Copies of this chain bind each other. A is one copy, B any other.
Amino acid sequence: MTPRDALPSLGDGHPVVAIDVGGTTMKVTSVSADGTMSPPRRVPSPPPGPGSADEVVRIATALVHEEAERLGAPPAALGIALPGVVVEDQALGVYSENLEWRDVDFRAAFARTLDLPIAVAHDVRAAGAAETRLGAARGASTALVLAIGTGIATSVQVDGRLHVGRGYAGEIGHAVVVPGGEPCVCGNRGCLEATASAEAIRRRYERDTGTEVSGSKEVFARAAAGDPVAVAVRDSAFDALALGLSHAITLIVPDVVVLAGGLSEAGDALVVPLAQRLESLVRYGPVPRLVRATLGEDAGLVGAALAARDALAAQDDPQPSR
C-alpha cells in the first residue's frame, strides 16, 4: 500500500492546484509540471449553513494563491472535489447534507474570485477515477470504488467511463438490504448505509450494549476478542455490504471492486469475509477481484488533480478521445 504522504505522480502536464472539500476538512495540494503532488495541507471546512458555499470558494481562492507561491509558477487550473450530489460538467453542487448547500453554480462563484479555469469533481467519483487510473483498480475497464465511512457510496465506472447519473449514480448506501431494518437519514429503513457504514457499526454497537466506543475500529477489535454483540453487529454489516455489492456486481459485472473509506482500514478483516460472502452470493457471473484502495484518504484529492489536468487537456485538444 502506498503510504498516505506519498501521492502518485500524474506525469508531465500543466501545473495545477487541487482541493478536496470534506464535511470537516479541506485539503489542498499543488501539482508541478512534472506531475509531482505536494504533501496535502489541511484547513478546517466552514460551518454548515447558508453561507457555506461562498466560504468554501473564499477559502479555496486563498489556498490557490498560497499554492501558487509555493509552486513558484501560476497554476493553469483548479480542480475541486465536492461532497454530496454533484454534476461535474455543469460545475453544480446540487446538494450537500454536511455543508447544507443546494444548487450552487461553482463555476460562477469562482469566476468572481479567481481568474483560473476550474474543474469540479465529485468526491466519490474523483476517488474512483484516482483508484482506476493510478491506484488499486489500475487498468480496469468496469470498476466500483466503494467508499465506506460515515456514509456509503460508490463510483461507477462502466467500460472506461465514469457514470454520473445526473449526480446520483452510485448512491447504493440508500439501497435497502434489510427490509424494515435500521432507520436511515433518507427516511427509509434498512438501507445499506444505516446497517453497515462505519458510523452505523459504532451506533448500533453502542445502542445494543449501552457502551460508548470510539468507532467501528473498536467494534472490530472487540469482535476479534470475542464480544458476541460486536461479532453480531460486524457480521450483519458484512452480510449487508456483500448483499448490496452482489446486486451491483450482477448488474454491471465489474472487473474489480475497490474498498475505500474509513472502514477499509480494517484491511483483510474486511476484505476476506466480504470476498467469501460474494463467492457464495454471486453464482451466475464472474466474481470480481476485491481489493483495498491504495491511495487512502487522499484519493479524492488525487482525483481533483486529475480533473484539473483533464480539463486542460480537453482545452488543448478540443476533440478528446474519451
Contacts and interface: CB of A to CB of B under 8 A. Distances in A.
B252 A166 contact: no
A281 interface: yes
A174 B284 CA distance: 7
A283 B248 CA distance: 18
A150 interface: no
Interface string A147-177: 0000000101011010101101111111110
Q: How many identical chains are in the complex?
A: 2
A243 interface: yes
Interface string A275-296: 0000011111110000000000
Contact of A168 (B159, B247, B284): B284
A165 B281 contact: no
Contacts of A158: 158-159, 161, 163, 252
Contact of A163 (B159, B175, B284): B159
A300 to B, nearest CB: 20
A30 interface: no
A187 interface: yes
Interface string A19-34: 0000000000000000
Interface of A: 142, 154, 156, 158-159, 161, 163, 165-166, 168-176, 179, 186-188, 239, 243-244, 246-248, 250-253, 280-286
